[in-house]
Amino acid sequence: MPLTVFRPTALAFALVAGLAAPLPSIAQQPADLPAAQLNTLRQKLAQRLPDLPPIEGARPAPVPGLIELRGGGHVFYTDANGEYLIDGNVLETRSRRNLTEERLDEINKVDVDQLPLKDAVVWKSGNGKRRLIVFADPNCGYCKRLERELQQVKDVTVYNFVVAILGDDSRQKAEAIWCAKDRTQAWRDWMLNGVTPPRVLGACNSPIQRNGALAQRLRVNGTPAIFFDDGSRVPGAASAATIEQRILKAQARGG
C-alpha cells in the first residue's frame, strides 16, 4: 500500500472541540516512542519518502491515534504504521491554539544570549530595550521588505547577522557593508534605498563566513529569519504588526 502525504492548507488540520482529550501539562508531555517502533517508522518513511528530513524523534501527537514526527526543525504527523503522513498545522479549536506552531517554537528554540552579537550589524530605534535577531542576505528581496517593516517597530535593537546564501555578489556586498566606515549606515542605505556599499579597500576581516556557519547550526534554511528573546523564530518576512505581537508574546514568556 503506497504511503499518502496530506498537505492541508492554512488552518489545515483542526481538532473538533470536545473530541480531543485535555492537553497535557508540560510536566506530563508524552514520552518519545520506544526505539524499536521509532526505527520501524524511520526506515519505512526513508524508503518511501526519501526527500523527507531524517526523523530525529517521535512521540504521540495531541490527536488520538496520530504520532508526531520531528526532523530537520520540522514537525509532521503519521499513523502508527507510517502509511499516511500529514504535513500541516494541528489546531485546538476550543482555545484556538496552533499546537504545531507551539511545538515548532519549542524544538527550534535558541538561546539568544549565547549568540555572538559582535558579528552582527546593529541598529536601534527609540530606547532600544527590546531585541530582535535577524539573519539576512543583502540581495534577498524579502529581507529588504522585512527591513522596511522593521522601521515601524518601536523601541527595538536589531542585530542583523549578514549572510551570503545567494552567491558571490551577496558575499561581496556583505563584506563591503561590514567593512564600511559606518556599517550600520551602509546596511540601511543598501537595504532601504539601494545605495551600493563602497568597495572594500585594503584588509578587512569580516564575520560573513562565521555567520553562515552559525546559520547552518541554527537550521536557518532561508532568509530572512527572525529570532525573538524567548528563543522562538519566524522564518521569512513578517509585517510590523506580526513582529510586535511576537515580541509581546516573547516578553510574556519571560524572554
> Could you tell me whether strands 13-15 and 90-92 are parallel, antiparallel, or unpaired per DSSP bridges?
parallel
Give the Cα separation of 157 and 4 in Å (integer).
45
Same domain for 167 and 230?
A: yes
Full residue range of the structural domain in which residue 56 is found = 4-107
Residue finishing a domain among 107, 135, 154: 107
Same domain for 120 and 241?
A: yes
Q: Quick one: cell of 111?
A: 538561546
Other CB atoms within 10 Å distance of the CB of residue 198: 12
In this structure, what CATH number is given to the domain that contains residue 183? 3.40.30.10
Q: Which residues face 227 on adjacent strands?
A: 133, 233
Question: Strand order in 225-227's β-sheet?
Answer: 121-125, 156-162, 130-136, 225-227, 233-235
| DSSP-assigned letter for residue 29 | P
Same domain for 239 and 218?
A: yes
Reading the chain (255 residues) residue by residue, the pLDDT tens digits are 444 444 443 334 333 333 334 444 433 567 889 999 999 999 999 999 999 999 999 999 999 999 999 998 889 999 999 999 999 999 999 999 999 988 888 888 899 999 999 999 999 999 999 999 999 999 999 999 999 999 999 999 999 999 999 999 999 999 999 999 999 999 999 999 999 998 877 778 999 999 999 999 998 989 999 999 999 998 899 999 999 999 998 988 775
Give the Cα separation of 159 and 177 in Å (integer).
14
Same domain for 67 and 147?
A: no
Same domain for 116 and 17?
A: no
Same domain for 130 and 223?
A: yes
Count the domains in the chain: 2
Same domain for 204 and 247?
A: yes
Same domain for 180 and 76?
A: no
Same domain for 127 and 65?
A: no
Same domain for 227 and 117?
A: yes
Same domain for 94 and 126?
A: no
Same domain for 172 and 234?
A: yes
Give the Cα separation of 248 and 255 in Å (integer).
9
